[in-house]
Structure 1
């Protein structure tokens, strides 16, 4: 290793890159990391962390309404978007500092500039400095996909939503995935008139049909409009402010803002990967094996840039496994990408783990499905008719639980523990034998029939 400047050079200081660099350094490696934007990556700077803070802020809209049935008198409540925005961005600054401190405390050299691979084991920084490394890790993440239509450059992405100077009165959000539905719920609770436009015929493809249909019903009840099988024809600036938008299924309309949330593209452009022959996939993703190694023996990749599973906890696990396997005193190991729990922080949120009912039928043949469709106690007293749904999918052959899906307040908090049970291969009988905690929504997990 003395022949190189570093044992490891990581390009990208997001969740996966930071974890891999920190752990590699803890194993004794000499490590450097380069980040052209901000330390922390998508999740910390412009993704799940600040978005969850906006979700918390949005929940107060309903809480302030519901609390009156619980005896509270609030008076004239007002919402200040700028105050929330600035507080969220300030906390993002704090988190960036914490991530930076973590790297520095492990003696990782940080280069706050763009880096490219320019030769065998060679990295050139934007400043012109050239270094060498025995191992190179690509952890550059992904960026929002911006579709092609006339005026597409006038739309914002989810990255821009955290920096708005004012809330739009009317917004069109393109997309049917979790980002589109999450921001639709956020803007709607803040008083914006929201329309989701989807070129397909369903939202949240990949989630169980029952829970996604329930979210659609609830979202429409809350006032969010949906247009399916629809595409943009053009977006034009309006001289008086806002934009004229023409969709394929309706007349031109005026909106204050258009946001695209139609997927994410791996950040592999101009990294110099072609100069050393790293193989890329059809979406520009870095192709890797189960140990996150590319076809070039000393180059690895983790996280969204591989387009395997674009979730922060997966990037962290992949970064940990890489560091332990390459620099740790143990046998190499791979991350299990099966049975991954996930959540959509919509209003109300969705949480899921394992197979959907349709996937289970196609894979296993015989399945048993158990459900609980109920109105949470808080909603009953508040006079809110919104109903929650829990669903359990079991293999008919051995009673093993192969999937749990729910839409309910705090569903992601409940799902974390339930996911352990599914991962461990527990059965419906194991749940039935567990005493319920009453009164809770979570007790429905052991009471489903």
Structure 2
């Protein structure tokens, strides 16, 4: 049995734990590969690179709104795909090679599972390797959920893990699910020339968003796609290239390709966590405390396998906390999940931080809201925007923001002042009136919404 001072399971954000501060230790990284995890290889980075490509294509299609005569000859899908993954595949390979060339890191390729307290077996291409460690970091991520109706049909389907590497855009893509992954990939393939049908069980798309955003995005999506809401699949029939998705309202969607985007599940079930004394929540997430410690001594966890916010920037923050706490067990730091922002890179973009209005109602909070449209500010005129808006929610007593929700151009950037204010405890009057806000700029939609709050 090979002994290591530290074993890290997962070469995504888990790999970010290790830096030169650990050079005095014998460290191992275990992953089936490729290095970089979901974000680099099949998640947020390639999807955003392709989403920007889609934005460029849609910008050409819509150029006439700005009195520009332009014709889109086409989106060269295979070239775009090769540009994106050619770069990212090199990044993954370079990341692994860098670790293999390290003086203090050993790379074990394969799937790891616990056999006891801080003992593991790695099943790899060259057989089994048995490891023991003084400390372990579990960062094995998550994977797409595939409903049994699809999984057991014997028919082909795609997930976010696979669909972005398709050789050609499907003529007709049916997307099962209405969350952020479904929205982003529908945008990408629609721009690439696919006809899109979205099937979602909730009454609106992006249902967890603020109700104003969810309703507005659903209206926009209906103008571009065939959107079926409030329905669920009851069966999948047909043959490869000629699929028939049966819905519980009696209708049938026929398409050549099915993308399953109904959510993700933690990979905790792949590591025999119970043998290590690692407790799990009902939804499969590993139980961790504020310091990212699991219920097993000497074992930490981070990222999608444990976090309530399965986002790359959250996993990176948790990785920094774990790195500190491994180095300074007597002076641990805690992870804060306050004011976690998120964005959806559709067209238009969507961004959020904090509570939704419906959550504030359910919690009985004494709050006030304000909405400003992009069309109300000068840069919105420049953008010829007719659908975008910013909604802010504040507590009447403390005069602090409870939430901010933006649908519109550059939303993921425009929301950042609200994130800073909520993170640092800056109240609304201070945020709205003390700093200068550039005029004209998209951020004025946030500034003006703050000024409109009844505080």
- Normalising to structure 1: TM-score of the pair? 0.91
3-state SS of paired residue (1:318): helix
Q: 2:169 aligns with which of 167, 179, 187?
A: 167
Question: For the structure 1 residues 232 and 267, does the alpha-carbon distance in structure 2 shift closer, same or farther, using more than 3 Å as the test?
Answer: same
Q: Matches of residues 278-297 of structure 1 in structure 2 within 5 Å?
A: 278-297=278-297
Which digits, 9 at most, give the CA deviation of each residue in 1:359-413, with x for residues without a partner?
234436321111102337677567x663211011111113211211101111001
1:432 CA drift (Å) = 2.9
Question: For the structure 1 residues 4 and 233, does the alpha-carbon distance in structure 2 shift closer, same or farther, using more than 3 Å as the test?
Answer: closer
Q: Which has the higher contact order (CA 8 A, sep 6+)?
A: 1
Does residue 67 of structure 1 match 2:75? no
1:4 CA drift (Å) = 7.9
Q: Matches of residues 402-417 of structure 1 in structure 2 within 5 Å?
A: 402-417=402-417
Q: Matches of residues 165-204 of structure 1 in structure 2 within 5 Å?
A: 165-204=167-206
Q: Matches of residues 134-283 of structure 1 in structure 2 within 5 Å?
A: 134-149=134-149, 151=153, 153-221=155-223, 223-238=224-239, 241-283=241-283
Question: For the structure 1 residues 109 and 130, does the alpha-carbon distance in structure 2 shift closer, same or farther, using more than 3 Å as the test?
Answer: same
Q: Matches of residues 233-382 of structure 1 in structure 2 within 5 Å?
A: 233-238=234-239, 241-328=241-328, 331-363=331-363, 365-375=365-375
3-state SS of paired residue (1:321): helix
1:226 CA drift (Å) = 1.9
Counterpart-to-counterpart distance in 2, 1:271 and 1:24? 27
Query: Is the deviation greater in 348-357 or in 225-234?
Result: 225-234
Count of matched residue positions in the alignment of Structure 1 and Structure 2 = 442
Question: For the structure 1 residues 368 and 350, does the alpha-carbon distance in structure 2 shift closer, same or farther, using more than 3 Å as the test?
Answer: same
Counterpart-to-counterpart distance in 2, 1:75 and 1:185? 19
Counterpart-to-counterpart distance in 2, 1:378 and 1:100? 44
3-state SS of paired residue (1:343): strand
1:90 CA drift (Å) = 0.5
CA contact (8 A) 1:173 1:260 kept: yes
Q: 2:76 aligns with which of 74, 77, 80?
A: 80
Counterpart-to-counterpart distance in 2, 1:265 and 1:99? 26
3-state SS of paired residue (1:372): strand
Counterpart-to-counterpart distance in 1, 2:327 and 2:320? 10
3-state SS of paired residue (1:300): strand
Q: RMSD of aligned C-alpha atoms?
A: 2.4
Structure 1 residue aligned with 2:52: 56
Question: For the structure 1 residues 209 and 323, does the alpha-carbon distance in structure 2 shift closer, same or farther, using more than 3 Å as the test?
Answer: same
Counterpart-to-counterpart distance in 2, 1:254 and 1:133? 52
CA contact (8 A) 1:22 1:108 kept: no
Structure 1 residue aligned with 2:439: 438
Counterpart-to-counterpart distance in 1, 2:446 and 2:392? 8
Query: Is the deviation greater in 249-258 or in 313-322?
Result: 249-258
- Normalising to structure 2: TM-score of the pair? 0.90
Does residue 388 of structure 1 match 2:388? yes
Does residue 90 of structure 1 match 2:86? yes
3-state SS of paired residue (1:285): coil
Does residue 29 of structure 1 match 2:25? yes
CA contact (8 A) 2:204 2:218 kept: no
1:12 CA drift (Å) = 1.0
1:425 CA drift (Å) = 1.9
Counterpart-to-counterpart distance in 2, 1:148 and 1:208? 30
Counterpart-to-counterpart distance in 2, 1:37 and 1:100? 9
3-state SS of paired residue (1:156): coil
Counterpart-to-counterpart distance in 1, 2:25 and 2:370? 51
CA contact (8 A) 2:60 2:72 kept: no
Counterpart-to-counterpart distance in 2, 1:261 and 1:190? 19
